[in-house]
């Protein structure tokens, strides 16, 4: 199964890098009206800072969120109709069979939807690169939702994943996640060769979600984000 994502309100339909990708999952803090409010606030942060912020709301809220914040935001055709810019697939909590990914990734791309494919480890990331998704997010599952960032606990996993992915397909943009919570985590992720981060808990479940997002943005380099890659 996949989850759609939306790009920042004043930004092009495609994701720009470096980026902060926020996965709402099905956390109670991000469902229904609470999620709509979060999306509006996060969109304002993107407008205010110019940072590349990507939202991944629950599929049930996708169409409403897309209309609410006026941004480009299951079968791929339904995601496109709802206003999606892309899809997040194969998260460790919602693994997808290889055969399904081999069919769904090119289908999404035919429809103009970008694909962020998640990988639990370096081997899976290297294999996913053969399918040529626009993005691969490396996320060791044992660190997801934890207090220690992958950038601290397993920095070598990130740097090795970047090398192995690019050896297979240099066009794939690499992201990382698991335990990312601070601007230092974001800055370190970029130092290790990624083009952004994917996270949920560190922002969505924070006492001050907007403040947490603004803190993360401080870890991004100055200057406007750039297009990730041409199709």
| pLDDT digits 0-9 by tens, 94-151 | 898 999 999 999 998 998 889 999 999 999 999 999 999 999 999 999 999 999 999 9
pLDDT band, residue 78 (cuts 50/70/90): low
Q: Is the pLDDT of residue 162 over 90?
A: yes
Tokens of 133: 């998704």
Lowest mean pLDDT among 51-65, 73-87, 114-128, 214-228: 73-87
Alpha-carbon distance 222 to 31, whole Å? 32
What are the CA-CA distances from residue 230 to residues 15, 26, 165, 171 (Å)?
11, 32, 18, 9
Architecture of domain 2-220: Alpha-Beta Barrel (3.20)
User: Residue 58: its pLDDT value, please?
Assistant: 82
Q: Choose the catalytic residue: 77, 93, 139, 156.
A: 139
For residue 59, pLDDT over 50 is answered with: yes
- Which residues 6+ apart lie within 8 Å of 48 measured at CB? none
What is the pLDDT averaged over residues 12-22? Answer: 82
Q: Lowest mean pLDDT: which of 19-23, 24-28, 55-59, 115-119?
A: 55-59
DSSP one-letter string for the chain: -EEEEEE-TTS-SS-EESEEEEE-TT-GGGSHHHHHHHHHHHHHHHHHH--EEEEE--GGGHHHHHHHTT-----HHHHHHHT-SEEEE--TTS---HHHHHHHHHHHHHTT-EEEEEESSHHHHHHHHTT--SEEEE--GGGTTSSS-HHHH-HHHHHHHHHHHHHH-TTPEEEEESS--SHHHHHHHHHTT-SEEEESHHHHTSSSHHHHHHHHHTTSPSS--EE----
Decide: 190 and 18 in contact? Cβ < 8 Å: yes
Rounded Cα distance, 186 and 18, in Å: 10
62: left (phi over 0), alpha (psi -120 to 50) or beta: alpha
The catalytic residue among 64, 91, 114, 126 is 91
Average pLDDT (13-21) is 86
Mark whether 139 is an active-site residue: yes
Per-residue pLDDT, 5: 67
93 tagged catalytic: no
CA distances from 28 to 12, 58, 159 (A): 29, 11, 34
Reported as a pLDDT band with limits 50, 70 and 90, residue 197 is very high
pLDDT at 186: 98
């Amino acid at each position: 199964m996949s989850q759609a994502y939306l790009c920042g309100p004043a930004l092009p339909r495609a994701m720009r890098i470096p980026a902060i990708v926020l996965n709402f999952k099905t956390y109670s803090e991000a469902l229904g009206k609470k999620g709509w409010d979060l999306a509006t606030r996060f969109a304002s942060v993107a407008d205010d800072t110019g940072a590349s912020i990507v939202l991944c709301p629950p599929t049930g809220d996708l169409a409403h969120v897309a209309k609410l914040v006026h941004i480009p935001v299951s079968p791929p055709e339904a995601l496109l109709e709802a206003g999606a810019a892309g899809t997040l697939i194969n998260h460790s909590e919602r693994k997808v069979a290889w055969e399904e990914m081999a069919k769904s990734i090119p289908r999404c791309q035919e429809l103009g939807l970008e694909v962020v494919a998640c990988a639990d480890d370096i081997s899976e990331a290297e294999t996913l690169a053969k399918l040529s998704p626009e993005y691969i997010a490396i996320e060791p599952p044992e660190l997801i939702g934890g207090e220690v960032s992958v950038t601290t606990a397993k920095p070598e996993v990130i740097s090795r994943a970047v090398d192995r992915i690019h050896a297979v397909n240099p066009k794939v943009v690499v992201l990382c996640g698991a335990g990312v919570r601070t601007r230092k985590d974001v800055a370190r992720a970029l130092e290790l060769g990624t083009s952004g981060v994917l996270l949920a808990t560190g922002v969505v479940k924070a006492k001050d979600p907007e403040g947490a997002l603004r803190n993360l943005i401080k870890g991004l380099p100055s200057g406007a984000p750039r297009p990730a890659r041409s199709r």
